């Protein structure tokens, strides 16, 4: 074991929660255990200054409980800033269930999890994330009202992915306006990495506008399907050195990292994936130096949370789309602020979110 690993292990033992690398003044962390259903879950409540902590539940076969804890701390913090920068009256929270969603998820386990959510009396409101389906949220709804993303026939706002894609499209147009002087994407080359729920919808918007769309995915069947459906071109070769105008990461996080960052030739990065920068501060600054305009992920992928927020506030489709469309204005403001202050676009977005939270706290 290296010295660093030994030190990290010592720290974990000495300060198992507050000493975690991802701990950032979280308000509350709740460990949920139920022997009968096999439930082991952690709910992370990062900040509730702006409102109840809303964020999805992820079920994942974590390699260790430390990984699960760090994930929930990191993800819940991200939700605080996503909602704050979007102007929603929501705080940041997230939950993780430790286990394999394919083999260990049962209605009993989901109901028991829902009871733990309910015990927080609305301080945390859950939703769908990786490993969860709308049907699971319907099960949670049986035991608590503190859940969003339930089926439309049960009063929910339905599938958030098309709304997320619309927000990404708006953010991309704002970044294009900033970088190329025009928001028009006709003739612009865009490489969409990951053509799942969000990626496909984004491809739809882009092809309708006349962009030259390239697609990439690890799922071959999906690639063929989307190629035929939208006449997009399958991209082969190294994604990161692709000579395209815009790179749209819509698969995994951390694709902008030490190994890839120097290879980028795209002039704009705008996609749906969460946590695109492996190191927010360092990689954000390198992109700035390379004059690559990065539309912060947590700002432009907020369509999904706007969609579930509608369930709480009781507004309809028209308002959801208007609020999502506003991502265009917010993105442009943040890109301009980053330029004016010579900081990364990620930092500029974070500052806006932090300021909104500080203002609300001061007004209390």
Residue with tokens 């089926």: 151
Q: Is 73 helix (H, G, I), strand (E, B) or coil?
A: helix
CB of 256 to ligand NAD, least distance (A): 13
- Is the sign of the CA dihedral 48, 98, 249, 294 positive or negative? positive
Residue with tokens 């190629």: 227
- C-beta closer to ligand NAD: residue 28 or 61: 61
Catalytic: which of 82, 94, 105, 173?
A: 94
- C-beta closer to ligand NAD: residue 39 or 268: 268
122 φψ region: left (φ > 0), alpha (ψ -120 to 50), beta (else):
left
- C-beta closer to ligand NAD: residue 107 or 253: 253
CB of 124 to ligand NAD, least distance (A): 19
DSSP character at residue 51: S
- C-beta closer to ligand NAD: residue 212 or 222: 222
Nearest to 353 by CA among 51, 55, 50, 54: 50
- C-beta closer to ligand NAD: residue 114 or 194: 194
d(CA 151, CA 139): 11
Q: Is 323 a catalytic residue?
A: no
CB of 315 to ligand NAD, least distance (A): 18
DSSP percent split of the chain into helix, strand, coil, nearest 5: 50, 15, 35
Helices (H), the chain: 3-14, 65-86, 101-104, 107-119, 134-141, 161-180, 197-209, 220-230, 280-289, 297-300, 303-313, 317-325, 327-341, 345-363
CB of 127 to ligand NAD, least distance (A): 10
- Is the sign of the CA dihedral 292, 298, 299, 302 positive or negative? positive
Instruction: Determine the residue with CB nearest ligand NAD.
Output: 196
Residue with tokens 């970044």: 175
Binding site for ligand NAD (CB under 6 A): 160-161, 164, 193-199, 216-219, 222, 250-252, 272-274, 301, 304
- C-beta closer to ligand NAD: residue 250 or 270: 250
d(CA 332, CA 135): 37
CB of 114 to ligand NAD, least distance (A): 21
CB of 38 to ligand NAD, least distance (A): 25
Spatial strand order in the sheet of 246-249: 233-234, 212-216, 189-193, 246-249, 268-269, 293-294
* Burial class (CB within 10 angstroms; exposed 0-12, middle 13-18, buried 19+) of 159: middle
- C-beta closer to ligand NAD: residue 222 or 360: 222
Are the beta carbons of 321 and 164 closer than 8 angstroms?
Answer: no
Are the beta carbons of 226 and 283 closer than 8 angstroms?
Answer: no
Kindly report the number of other CB atoms within 10 A of residue 196's CB atom. Answer: 15
Structure tokens at 342: 């010579």
CB of 188 to ligand NAD, least distance (A): 21
> Which residues are marked as active site?
94
């Amino acid at each position: 074991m290296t010295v660093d690993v030994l030190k990290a292990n010592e720290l974990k033992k000495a300060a198992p929660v507050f000493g975690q690398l991802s701990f950032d003044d979280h308000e509350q962390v709740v460990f949920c255990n139920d022997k009968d259903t096999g439930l082991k879950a952690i709910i992370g409540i990062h900040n509730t200054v702006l409102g109840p902590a809303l964020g999805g539940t992820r079920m994942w076969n974590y390699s260790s409980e430390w990984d699960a804890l760090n994930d929930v701390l990191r993800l819940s913090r991200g939700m605080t800033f996503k909602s704050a920068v979007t102007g929603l009256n929501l705080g940041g929270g997230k939950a993780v269930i430790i286990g394999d969603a394919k083999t260990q998820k049962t209605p009993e386990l989901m109901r028991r999890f829902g009871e733990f959510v309910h015990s927080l009396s609305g301080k945390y409101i859950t939703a769908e994330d990786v490993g969860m389906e709308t049907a699971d949220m319907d099960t949670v709804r049986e035991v608590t009202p503190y859940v969003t993303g339930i089926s439309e026939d049960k009063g929910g706002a339905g599938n958030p992915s098309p709304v997320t894609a619309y927000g990404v499209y708006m953010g991309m147009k704002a970044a294009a306006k900033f970088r190329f002087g025009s928001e028009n994407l006709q003739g612009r080359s865009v490489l969409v990495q990951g053509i799942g729920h969000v990626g496909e919808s984004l491809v739809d918007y882009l092809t309708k506008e006349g962009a030259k769309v390239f697609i990439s995915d690890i799922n071959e069947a999906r690639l063929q399907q989307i190629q035929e459906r939208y006449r997009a071109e399958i991209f082969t070769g190294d994604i990161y050195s692709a000579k395209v105008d815009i790179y749209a990461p819509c698969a995994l996080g951390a694709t902008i990292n030490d190994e890839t960052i120097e290879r980028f030739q795209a002039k704009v990065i705008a996609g749906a994936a969460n946590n695109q920068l492996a190191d927010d501060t360092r990689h954000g600054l390198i992109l700035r130096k390379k004059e690559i305009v990065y539309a912060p992920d947590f700002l432009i992928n907020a369509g999904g949370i706007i969609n579930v927020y509608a369930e709480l506030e009781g507004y309809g489709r028209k308002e959801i789309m208007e609020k999502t469309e506003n991502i265009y204005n917010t993105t442009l403001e943040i890109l301009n602020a980053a330029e004016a202050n010579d900081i990364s676009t990620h930092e500029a977005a974070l500052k806006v979110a932090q300021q909104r939270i500080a203002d609300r706290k001061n007004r209390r």
